[in-house]
Each structure stands twice: as C-alpha cells, then as structure tokens.
Amino acid sequence: MVNPEESSTENTMRHVSYARFGERDVLQVKTSDIPQPGPGQVLVRVHGAGLNPIDWKTRKGLGFAARQIENSLPWTPGYDVAGEVVAVADDVTTLAPGDRVMGMIGFPEGGGGYASYAVAGADEFAIVPEELDLLAAGALPLAALTAWQALFEVAKLESGQKILVHAGAGGVGHFAVQFALERGAHVVATASASNRDFLAELGVHEVIDYRTTDVAEECYGLDVVLDLVGGEEGKRSLHTLGEHGVLVTIPTVTADEIISAAENMGLRAHGMTVRPDVFHLDEIAELIEDGDVRVHLDQIFPLDQVAHAHELLEGGHVRGKLVLDCR
C-alpha cells in the first residue's frame, strides 16, 4: 500500500461531524486520524466537497438517508468529493496516487465528503478532465447524476422533444438544461427574473418567471417535465404535459401525491432517487472536456463556514452549486 503524503509528518485531518440531528449548530469541525484504504478502496485528499439539499434534510433527521444513519451518529456528511488520490489498497489497479478524481461516495449511509481526506471504493471515482478545476469538480457528481438519470433513464428524453425544467438555475437544474440542450431538445425553464440572463447564457430557449407566470397557462403539449420543486408546483405542471408526456419529480416528500394526481388524470409521472454511476460520470466529464457543459459555482466556503453554507443551501435560491474548500 502506498502511504499518503510520505514526506509529511501530519497524520490527522479535519472533518465536519454531527452527533445528533438538528439545526445548523449541530455541525462541528473535528480533528481525527487520516483513515487508511481497505480492500478495493482509495484515499483521496479532498479539494472540493459539494453541498446538496439532501445534506441539510438529513442533518435535520428528514428523509430516507437519515433513517440509514440514525444509529451511526456521530456522522460526517457529504456525498460529493473531488481531489487527488494519495493512497490505494494493494488490490486497486485502476487508480494511482496523483490521479485527479471525482465521485459520489458513500451513498446513502457512508457519506464522509466534508473532510480533508476521504476513503471510498475505487469504483466510485471518475477521472476529472484537465479543463475542470478540482473545486468545481467536487460540486458535480450528485447533482449532475440526478439530472442525467432523470432525463435519460427515466424520462428517456430525445432530440426534438420539448422539456420544462423547474428551478433551472439551481444545482440539478443548471446541469439538466445543459444536458437537454446537448441532446437537441427545446428547453423551457422556470427561474426568478434575476436568473434569466444566466439561463440565456447557457442556451435555454425560454425562461418563465415562476413568481409572475403560471406555467400551466404558459406551456402545453410538453414531452417532459423535470420537477425539482415538488408539491403544488409539481401537480400544476401535470397540466403542461402532452398526451404521451412524462413528468419526473425529484423531491421524495411529495412524489407519491404527484404520481397519484397524474394517474387520476391518465398521465405518467415518476419519482426517482439518484444512484452512483461512474460510467455516467465519465460521459458527463467528456461533455465538460468538449466544452458542452460547465459547472457554475455560486459560492465557495472553508470547512469552518459549513453552517453558513447550510444556511444558504436551506434558503433554496442558490445559482448553480455551493462547495466546501477542504484543503
């Protein structure tokens, strides 16, 4: 096994942890020994750790991930990391120290991304293209995979189809509109007026201000709706679908009621939960390499400001992604 940073005498790392569910004050920055990779694993020196809505919901004890970890507290959150491989287990041949990698790790019960070092399976990581900074790469995996799987596995979006993406300027949304455009779809997105120019720069064909316009009156005959808001907004969006259209709703809390409403209308709606998939990450990395997709970072925070990052995350008006600088 290759030892991490052999020239360094430092053998501890900083990481975020919480010992109970609760508000942002449960988030603590701790110091622990740097972990060693077990069979099939690699140790990564984390540069960027992405923040996702599931992080604050789980911290509050909400959702399926909280049920997975409630008996394993204290726990280090974070599923998105990018950084440099510093050690590999003896049986790992696909990665080597020095490789720049990104991955959605430890989902849902493992976590561990909010840390200066993280251990995960070698098969959870993809190589980061040279064109992508490691901080930005850390913001990519979970949100980009959610968008990719929702569009192409569940909705089966095709070239020439018309799609509405709710919250198009957000973390999942800004990836979804770019993927849909790259596939050749006509893309409509909802956003606040302040994000109109941002979405236009990404190439979105039509931007609807959700604060002043009812999408059910503005859109009709759509092939796909990607609902990243849920609740009443998701149910209203069913009225925009064509006869053979499909709505994919991401928020799990309201998914069942939206699916039931769709069935009552004779329409199709599906919920989904993202899963790690390194092959999809490789495809996404290729699009970034070719310049077809970009990652937008709204703000970068040091580990010490994790509570402030969660405050913004909970506010729900982030443009693109938030990321922790774990170096």
Tell me how far apart the alpha carbons of residues 95 and 153 are, in angstroms, rounded to a whole number: 28
Tell me how far apart the alpha carbons of residues 173 and 189 are, in angstroms, rounded to a whole number: 8
CA nearest to 17, candidates 69, 62, 53: 69
Q: Go through 145-179 and write b for each residue having 16 or more CB atoms within 10 A of its CB, e for each that does not.
A: bbbbbbbbebbebeeebbbbbbbbbbbbbbbbbbb
Residues 155 and 246: beta-carbon distance below 8 Å: yes
**Residue 113 confidence (pLDDT):** 98
CA nearest to 17, candidates 32, 4, 34: 32
> What is the tens place of the pLDDT at every residue in 158-197?
999 999 999 999 999 999 999 999 999 999 999 999 999 9
Burial label for 38, CB within 10 Å (0-12, 13-18, 19+), is: exposed
In this prediction, the residues of the chain whose per-residue pLDDT falls under 70 are 1-9
- The pTM score is 0.94
Residues 128 and 100: beta-carbon distance below 8 Å: yes
DSSP 3-state percent helix, strand, coil across the chain (nearest 5) = 35, 30, 35
**Residue 7 confidence (pLDDT):** 34
